[in-house]
């Protein structure tokens, strides 16, 4: 019984109240400020059934509102909404919102492509203090989490395994990673208006921007690659 109490007490250190994510919410008085608030993104398509099982466990342990299935909600929309709402709450004098933003850490479960997607989104936000990202190896290509000490095997999805991973996230040391942008200029296909490709038709790492002006000798589309 005592062991269970200690675990529940420990989980408070990762917990984010629901109102932090709600645009119309008002400031709430909360007695405890978590030392390591986390937002969890899980690609439920990765690792077979493991992704879904991991989602269920995280939502049981933490607030449902802070655990996201990437098939339902993209990280750019989640983080834009979060930061916008937290800035509003800060202006209203919410101390908890300020502290959550300062201590926030992100967890992403998926393959290298999923991890790179979230890292790209965080980079695009151009934050003064971007939140650190912990990667859960979940899929066939797990080189990124392996390189940063998170292992290469698919993780356990039970309660004990997830709690152990959360402890590691809390204790982890931050390490910077290089990021770059590559701009590709592509010739316009024949009989095409040369409009940017629809975002839904591009992988998450690619962003179509605009057509080069017609004064350019070659009619091209400019696309940016984010890694």
pLDDT tens string 161-175? 999 999 999 999 888
pTM, full prediction: 0.79
Q: Each residue of 95-129: pLDDT tens digit? A: 899 899 999 999 999 888 888 889 889 988 888 88
The answer to whether residues 24 and 133 belong to one domain is yes
* DSSP alpha helix (H) spans, the chain: 2-11, 50-61, 75-91, 95-103, 112-125, 143-147, 159-171
The answer to whether residues 139 and 97 belong to one domain is yes
- Identify whether 78 is part of a domain: yes
Predicted local confidence at residue 2, as pLDDT: 43
Domain that holds residue 215: 181-226
In the predicted model, is pLDDT for residue 225 greater than 50? no
Tokens describing residue 191: 């009989």
The answer to whether residues 70 and 128 belong to one domain is yes
Handedness of CA 115, 116, 117, 120 (dihedral sign): positive
- Identify whether 176 is part of a domain: no
> How many domains is the chain built from?
2
Rounded CA separation 121/172 (Å): 21
The answer to whether residues 193 and 160 belong to one domain is no
Predicted local confidence at residue 219, as pLDDT: 45
Give the domain-ending residue among 135, 152, 171.
171
**Can you give the CATH number for the domain in which 141 is found?**
3.40.50
**185 three-state secondary structure:** strand
Confidence of residue 223 (pLDDT cuts 50, 70, 90): very low
In the predicted model, is pLDDT for residue 50 greater than 60? yes
The answer to whether residues 60 and 41 belong to one domain is yes
- Identify whether 24 is part of a domain: yes
Crossing angle for the helix pair 75-91 and 112-125, nearest 10 degrees?
Answer: 40
% of residues, the chain, pLDDT over 90: 43
The answer to whether residues 192 and 216 belong to one domain is yes
Predicted local confidence at residue 166, as pLDDT: 95
% of residues, the chain, pLDDT over 70: 75
The answer to whether residues 101 and 162 belong to one domain is yes
In the predicted model, is pLDDT for residue 75 greater than 90? yes
- Identify whether 94 is part of a domain: yes
Please state, rounded to an integer, the average pLDDT across all residues of the chain: 81
Nearest to 96 by CA among 172, 35, 10, 41: 35
The answer to whether residues 79 and 186 belong to one domain is no
Rounded CA separation 42/134 (Å): 12
* Average confidence (pLDDT) over 203-209: 61
Predicted local confidence at residue 196, as pLDDT: 56
Query: Cα separations (Å) of 200 from 79, 94, 115, 174, 189?
Result: 19, 37, 19, 33, 19
The answer to whether residues 146 and 207 belong to one domain is no
Among the ranges given (82-96, 121-135, 208-222), the one the predictor scored with the smallest mean pLDDT? 208-222
The answer to whether residues 87 and 194 belong to one domain is no
- Identify whether 50 is part of a domain: yes
**Cβ distance 43 to 138 under 8 Å?**
yes
């Amino acid at each position: 019984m005592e062991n269970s109490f200690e675990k529940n007490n420990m989980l408070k250190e990762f917990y984010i109240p629901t109102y932090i994510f709600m645009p119309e919410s008002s400031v709430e008085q909360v007695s405890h400020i978590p030392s390591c608030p986390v937002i969890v993104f899980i690609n439920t398509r990765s690792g077979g059934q493991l992704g879904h099982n991991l989602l269920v466990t995280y939502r049981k342990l933490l607030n449902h509102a802070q655990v996201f299935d990437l098939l339902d909600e993209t990280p750019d929309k989640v983080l834009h909404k979060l930061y916008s709402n937290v800035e509003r709450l800060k202006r209203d004098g919410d101390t908890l919102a300020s502290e959550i933003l300062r201590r926030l850490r992100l967890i992403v479960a998926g393959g290298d492509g999923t991890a790179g997607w979230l890292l790209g989104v965080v980079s695009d936000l151009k934050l003064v203090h971007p939140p650190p990202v912990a990667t859960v190896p979940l899929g066939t290509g797990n080189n990124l989490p392996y390189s940063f000490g998170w292992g290469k095997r698919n993780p356990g999805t039970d309660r004990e395994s997830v709690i152990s991973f959360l402890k590691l996230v809390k204790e982890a040391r931050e390490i910077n990673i290089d990021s770059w942008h590559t701009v590709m200029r592509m010739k316009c296909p024949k009989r095409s208006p040369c409009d940017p490709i629809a975002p839904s038709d591009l992988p998450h790492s690619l962003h179509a921007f605009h057509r080069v002006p017609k004064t350019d000798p070659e009619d091209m589309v400019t696309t940016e690659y984010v890694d």
